Amino acid sequence: EAKDGAGVVVAAAPAVGGAGRSVTLSLESGLARALERNEFELHIQPLVDAVSGRPVSGEALLRWNSAALGRRSPAEFIPLLERSGLIVPVGDWVLREACRQAAGWGDVRVAVNLSARQFMGGDLVETVQRALRGSRLEPERLELEITESLMMQSPERAVRLLTDLKRTGVRVMLDDFGTGFSNLSYLHAFPLDGLKIDRSFVVALEHGERAGGIIEAIVQMGHKLGLEIVAEGIETSEQHLTLQKLGVPILQGYLFGRPQANWQP
Ligand code: C2E
Ligand code: MG
Ligand code: MG
Ligand code: MG
């Protein structure tokens, strides 16, 4: 990274055929074998009631512990899984494993992130139903997290798919809300159950910006539309207090618990 004269951050261009490319290649061949080698793991992070602190849900976050390459970050390997199409079998495993673990959590829900390929792949409804049947998890205890960019690729298909998914009884949350175009027409066109306000808004609270007003408005909108509102990325008790005052009912962040293996509510 370097700053140009105007203070704009300019990313260095990747060297073609250089070390960057061979690292990507070894990651890709490692990922191709990771499922059969049992190198994937789910870490679960709680979503808690802002007032009582009680967990209402746990988000399943994929971890890859490669025998050859060590622990790799999802930011690095999820785009590679997506690009190679491996996200479909891996995402299927995530769904089954998340439902299996959550079956022992009482009334606490489990949240699973979906990628574009899974969402548009054609048999998502069947995959979800299979995971539910296999684990005997009640459908209303499974929530699927989707993003705006995922729906933007084909809004008409997305509406149909979400409608079909809703018919199975699962919940659907819009993740990273506020980072995309946040097109309000989505909110009335898509049968969503809630919104997760992106961490960047929580961070902005401290800088005396307008984030507080925006969060408050999202909470009010949530009440009117019957949407559950979650804020992500809470790290400090100051943030917790501010978000409680702003009326955000459900919170998620390191302050309440880091993602961890074998989490129990
Ligand atoms: P996300 O769905 O928005 O998940 C929240 C991310 O924020 C997680 O990063 C979580 O560890 C992190 N986080 C939670 N609380 C805090 C906090 O207080 N402070 C900070 N700085 N970060 C916090 P993680 O686990 O690295 O995952 C990154 C992204 O990778 C996720 O963002 C999600 O988009 C994607 N991802 C993870 N697992 C899966 C999966 O199974 N399938 C798909 N398709 N995507 C996944
Ligand atoms: Mg998520
Ligand atoms: Mg999120
Ligand atoms: Mg986020």
CA 184 – ligand 4 centroid, Å: 19
Indicate the SS3 state at residue 34.
helix
Q: Which residue has its alpha carbon closest to ligand 1 atom 34?
A: 113
pLDDT value for 5: 36
Compute the CA torsion angle 140, 145, 149, 155 (nearest 10 deg). -10
Residue tagged 């005396």 (tokens): 208
Ligand that lies nearest to the alpha carbon of residue 196, given by its number in the listed order: 3
- Beta strand pairing call for 171-177 and 194-197: parallel
Tell me which of 61, 174, 176, 205 to substitute to probe ligand 1's pocket, judged by most ligand atoms within 8 Å of the beta carbon. 61
Residues with C-beta atoms within 5 A of ion ligand 4 = 176, 198
> What integer best gives the mean pLDDT of the chain?
90
pLDDT, tens digit, 9 for 90 and up, residues 36-76: 999 999 999 999 999 999 999 999 999 999 998 999 999 99
CA 175 – ligand 2 centroid, Å: 6
pLDDT, tens digit, 9 for 90 and up, residues 99-148: 999 999 999 999 999 998 898 877 999 999 999 999 999 999 999 999 98
User: What are the respective helix, strand and coil percentages of the chain, to the nearest 5?
Assistant: 45, 20, 30
| Span between the terminal Cα atoms of the chain, in Å | 42
254 pocket-lining for ligand 1 (C-beta < 6 Å): yes
Q: Which residue has its alpha carbon closest to ligand 1 atom 42?
A: 113
* pTM score of the predicted model: 0.92
62 pocket-lining for ligand 1 (C-beta < 6 Å): yes
